[in-house]
């Protein structure tokens, strides 16, 4: 690829050459006029004057052409710079647009992620509330059953106490009956002992 500075260097060399030629023409015109004046020949002075005018016109033309070329070159440089600046501006605008789109996409993704997280947290919170309600209901049910079981236990304890009381009374009654039986047996034994002599006498008769 050709460097952009190469045409500028070439144009500068051409400009330097043209200016050198213009200066040489003016110098030549001055030398001719000076030589004609020294010789003091009318024809030679006239010819030197004409040559000086022609050389001056040529030098002026060369200078004017170089001036026009310089202006055109400056215009081309400014146009090139404007195009370069326009390209740079377009590139920066594209970069800014891409960066803006990237940031917008990042913000959208972040907002979507946050909304998803919020939805998940709300769902988890609702599930936790439901589990807590179920746990409270289960606890109340267990408390009710425990209360019922406690009531039943109290009733069983009362029944057991009554049964134990009745058993104690029965034991006492058995003891009393055993004592009465012992008394009756003792009385019967005594009566039998008292009647044995009479039975024996009756058997002997």
* pLDDT digit string, tens, across residues 145-201: 877 878 777 777 887 888 788 778 888 888 888 888 888 778 777 776 776 666 566
Classify residue 31: in a domain, yes or no.
yes
Confidence of residue 7 (pLDDT cuts 50, 70, 90): low
Three-class DSSP category at 148: helix
Burial (CB < 10 A; 0-12, 13-18, 19+), residue 86, is: exposed
CB atoms within 10 A of CB 29: 21
Please give the pLDDT value at position 198. 62
21 falls within a domain: yes
> What value does the mean pLDDT of the chain take?
77
User: Dihedral through CA 6, CA 9, CA 15, CA 18, nearest 10?
Assistant: -80
Which has the minimum average pLDDT: 6-20, 75-89, 128-142? 6-20
Return the pLDDT at 3. 45
Q: Tell whether 181 is covered by a domain.
A: no
Q: Which long-range contacts (CB under 8 A, 24 or more apart) does 121-128 make?
A: none
Residue 36 falls inside a structural domain: yes
Residue 38 in domain:
yes
> Is residue 94 a part of any domain in this protein?
yes
Tally of domains in the chain: 1
Taking residues 67-71, report their average pLDDT. Answer: 81
pLDDT of residue 136: 83
102 domain residue, yes or no: yes
pTM higher than 0.85 for the full model? no
Distance CA 128, CA 138 (A): 15
Residue 95 pLDDT greater than 70, yes or no:
yes
- On the question of pLDDT at 5 being above 60, the answer is no
The pLDDT score that the predictor gives to residue 6 is 47
Domain residues for 14? Answer: 7-108
Decide: 55 and 26 in contact? Cβ < 8 Å. yes
The pLDDT, as a whole number, for residue 2 is 43
Considering only CA atoms, give the Rg of the chain: 71
pLDDT at 200: 62
The pLDDT of residue 162 is 82
pLDDT at 8 exceeding the cut of 80: no
Tokens of 100: 């803006």
Compute the distance between CA of residue 182 and CA of residue 188 in angstroms, rounded to an integer: 10
151 in any annotated domain: no
Phi-psi region of 40 (alpha: psi -120 to 50; beta: other; left: phi over 0): left
The pLDDT tens digits for 103-133 are 888 888 888 888 888 788 888 888 888 888 8
């Amino acid at each position: 690829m050709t460097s952009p500075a190469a045409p500028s260097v070439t144009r500068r060399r051409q400009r330097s050459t043209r200016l050198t030629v213009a200066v040489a023409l003016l110098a030549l015109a001055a030398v001719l006029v000076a030589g004609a004046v020294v010789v003091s020949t009318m024809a030679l002075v006239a010819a030197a004057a004409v040559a000086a005018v022609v050389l001056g016109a040529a030098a002026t033309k060369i200078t004017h052409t170089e001036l026009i070329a310089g202006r055109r070159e400056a215009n081309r440089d400014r146009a090139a710079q404007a195009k370069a600046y326009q390209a740079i501006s377009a590139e920066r605008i594209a970069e800014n647009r891409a960066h803006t789109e990237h940031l917008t996409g990042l913000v959208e993704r972040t907002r979507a992620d946050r909304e998803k997280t919020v939805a998940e947290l709300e769902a988890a919170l609702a599930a936790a509330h439901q589990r807590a309600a179920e746990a409270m209901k289960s606890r109340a049910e267990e408390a009710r059953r425990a209360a019922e079981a406690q009531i039943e236990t109290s009733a069983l304890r009362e029944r057991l106490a009554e049964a134990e009381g009745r058993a104690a009374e029965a034991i006492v009654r058995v003891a009393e009956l055993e004592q009465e039986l012992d008394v009756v047996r003792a009385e019967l034994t005594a009566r039998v002992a008292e009647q044995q002599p009479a039975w024996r006498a009756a058997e002997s008769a």
